[in-house]
Amino acid sequence: MSQKKVDYYKEQKANRKNIIKKEKRMRRIEQIVVGAVGILAACWICFSVYTKVTEKDTTATESVSTDLNVTALDDFMNQVESAEEAGTETAEEAEAESTEEAGTESTGEAEADSAEETEAE
């Protein structure tokens, strides 16, 4: 071995305790930093999910009102009702006429029957 290597080895051996302490300290700091970053990432994800869930709940509970203009529908219904009333009056008149005709027919039949009876006598 060269003299440089021998000197380096002796120095490492003399400071081995300090070097090991330093390496352990650095490893511990790295673990703490990685753990803190992981915890922050998990908290951020949970907070994002929570805000999304509560945002959906608030929009679901809000009531929505819609104004509807029904004048056209009312006009249509009024026209239908007036047409039905006119149709009903016409139907009633037709029934009355048919009843009158049926009455005259039955009267005519009765007269014919009575005429036949008188002829038979």
Domain residue ranges of the chain, discontinuous segments joined by +:
1-57, 81-121
Q: What is the mean pLDDT of the chain?
A: 79
User: Taking the model in full, what pTM does it have?
Assistant: 0.39
Distance from C-alpha of 121 to C-alpha of 25, rounded to nearest angstrom: 145
Model pLDDT, residue 119: 56
Ranges under pLDDT 50 in the chain: 105, 121
Q: Return d(Cα 43, Cα 50) in angstroms, integer.
A: 10
Q: What is the reported pLDDT for 85?
A: 82
Q: For position 33, what pLDDT does the model report?
A: 98
Q: What phi and psi, each to the nearest 5 degrees, are found at residue 58?
A: -70, -35
| One-letter-per-residue 3-state SS of 73-110 | HHHHHHHHHHHHHHHHHHHHHHHHHHHHHHHHHHHHHH
Q: How far apart are CA 5 and CA 10, in angstroms?
A: 9
In this predicted structure, what is the pLDDT of residue 72?
A: 85
The pLDDT assigned to 98 comes to 63
Q: Which tokens sit at 83? A: 């047409």
Q: For residues 42 and 62, give the distance between their C-alpha atoms in angstroms, rounded to a whole number.
A: 31
